[in-house]
Amino acid sequence: MARNALAHKLHRPDDTFSLRDQLNGERLGGILLLTAAAIGFALANSPLSEWFSDLAHTEIGPEALGLKLSLAHWAADGVLAIFFFVVGLELKREFVTGSLRDPRKVSLPILAAVAGMAVPAVIYSIVVSVAGLDAALRGWAIPVATDIAFAMGLVVVLGRGMPPAFRVFLLTLAVVDDLLGITVIAIFYTANLSLIWLAAALAVIAAYWFVTHRGWNPRWLLIPLGVLAWYCMLQSGVHATIAGVLLGLSVPARPIGNDEISLAEDMEHDWNALSQGVALPVFAFFSAGVPVAAGGGDLSSVVSDPVFLGVLLGLFAGKPLGIFASVAIFRWVPGFALDASLKLRDILALGGLAGIGFTVSLLIGELAFRGDETHIDHAHLGVIAGSLLAALAGGMLLSWCSAAHRRSHDAGLEDEQGASS
């Protein structure tokens, strides 16, 4: 990665890769994320639970700047912005040079992404409304997200016989899911909006756009601009991670001048390691640290809680239902087409994998119920349980589909050999 303001005159390192290749290679990041979440969950349900709670609520930062936040809030509002910055870079490359550059070719995955978000939201809303818990309706968006790192990790391990179109479909769906999830956070989970601070944040992001479109990549300039944009966004009332997304989207996704690769690709390669190795594990450590008997009750009271049930059912049942039904219905409609190499059973497996919400679902739970620890705990437990069930069901279906595709491929080879002999 270039280190000075004249980097636009130099060729960048030979680190080109596709988004799909990057996601397929994130096993270590997924292991770190899962390990951090498991440690946090174990500590919250161990004799060290009081120490863990005190740690999560320890406040650090300059109070005069409005930055005296608990460590748990720093994890959700601060370091997670790195993850969203990488998401913004991925989105920018997908829109400019990737699978989303021609919406006509990805109309069915886009529709499936929308349906896969709408159905879980409806299921959650019905569950909490029937229970008379209208105040909890604010959490309707918790089960709408897909954690692409976990989902693609399972594809790498269990889906070796799947056709390439399966990964393209899942990746496109997840990218659209990320984009819509970010939009939901920006619109529905913004409190006390300050237009002055928001204008300041956008001005700093515009400066970031100008610098990067000059082909410059000096860390001494870009990192301070990014931190300033994050701070202004935090003060505006819009969730600060949105600054990360907008900064990522402002980076050029095509090579400039004599560059061999785009600045977005170069920065994504560098920042993804920090996102996968630090930001996501730290966030998961605090967010998954929820006692099973959350809210002072016992396990039975938790599993019967409407927020817990709504989130769990939304992820485990709503996601695959919305995705499968939309594809099954609209694949025959003009303008939509399912790749010939994919079967409906493959879409069912894909829907199961999409039910792994985790990272963004945990964040939305924090935003929806901030200040209400009981609802936050129940929502987080619902995310963990729903994601685990979705991973188990999706993984089993994926293994079955993968085996079926391998048998079909082997049978085709035998037929060709028989015909040639």
Q: How many CA atoms lie within 13 A of 415 on its CB side?
A: 6
Confirm if 392 and 315 have CB atoms less than 8 A apart. no
95 CB burial (10 A radius; 0-12, 13-18, 19+): middle
Strand, coil or helix: what is 114?
helix
Q: Tell me which residue has tokens 């909006």.
A: 193
User: Residue type for 91, please?
Assistant: L
Q: Tell me which residue has tokens 């730290």.
A: 282
The 10s digit of each residue's pLDDT in 15-41 is 444 443 444 345 666 678 778 888 998
Q: What is the Cα–Cα distance from 60 to 296, expressed in whole angstroms?
A: 27
Of 387, 395, 391, 354, give the one whose Cα is nearest residue 176.
Answer: 354
The 10s digit of each residue's pLDDT in 363-413 is 898 888 987 888 888 998 999 999 999 999 999 999 999 998 888 766 665
Q: What is the Cα–Cα distance from 47 to 261, expressed in whole angstroms?
A: 51
Confirm if 99 and 108 have CB atoms less than 8 A apart. no
pLDDT above 90 (res 148):
no
Max distance between CA atoms of the chain, in angstroms, equals 82
Q: What is the Cα–Cα distance from 141 to 147, expressed in whole angstroms?
A: 14
Token pair belonging to 81: 């912005």
The 10s digit of each residue's pLDDT in 316-330 is 999 999 999 999 999
**Torsion angle (degrees, nearest 10) of CA 123, 349, 173, 378:** 40
Angle between helices 195-213 and 219-236 (to 10 degrees): 160
Radius of gyration of the chain (CA): 22
pLDDT above 70 (res 3):
no
Give the pLDDT confidence score for residue 199 in this predicted structure.
95
Task: Measure CA of the first residue to CA of the last residue in the chain; give whole Å.
Answer: 55
Q: What is the Cα–Cα distance from 385 to 313, expressed in whole angstroms?
A: 10
Confirm if 121 and 140 have CB atoms less than 8 A apart. yes
Backbone angles phi, psi at 91, to 5 degrees: -60, -45
Domain residue ranges of the chain, discontinuous segments joined by +: 7-46+77-410
Q: 420 falls in which pLDDT band (50, 70, 90)?
A: low
Give the pLDDT confidence score for residue 152 in this predicted structure.
74
Give the pLDDT confidence score for residue 10 in this predicted structure.
44
Q: What is the mean pLDDT of the chain?
A: 83
DSSP conformational letter for 12: P
Q: What is the Cα–Cα distance from 328 to 341, expressed in whole angstroms?
A: 15
Instruction: Give the 3-state DSSP-derived string for 69-91, with helices as H, strands as E and coil as C.
Output: EEHHHHHHHHHHHHHHHHHHHHH
Of 357, 352, 356, give the one whose Cα is nearest residue 398.
Answer: 352
Q: What is the Cα–Cα distance from 158 to 410, expressed in whole angstroms?
A: 18
Domain 7-46+77-410 is of which CATH architecture?
Up-down Bundle (1.20)
**Torsion angle (degrees, nearest 10) of CA 294, 296, 298, 299:** 0
The structure's pTM equals 0.78
Give the pLDDT confidence score for residue 5 in this predicted structure.
38
DSSP conformational letter for 189: S
Q: What is the Cα–Cα distance from 35 to 41, expressed in whole angstroms?
A: 10
Residues 199-213, mean pLDDT to the nearest whole number: 94
pLDDT above 50 (res 11):
no
pLDDT above 80 (res 331):
yes
Percent of the chain residues topping a pLDDT of 90: 34
| Element containing residue 316 per DSSP (H, E) | none
Confirm if 222 and 208 have CB atoms less than 8 A apart. yes
pLDDT above 80 (res 134):
yes
The 10s digit of each residue's pLDDT in 102-133 is 776 788 999 999 999 999 999 999 999 999 88
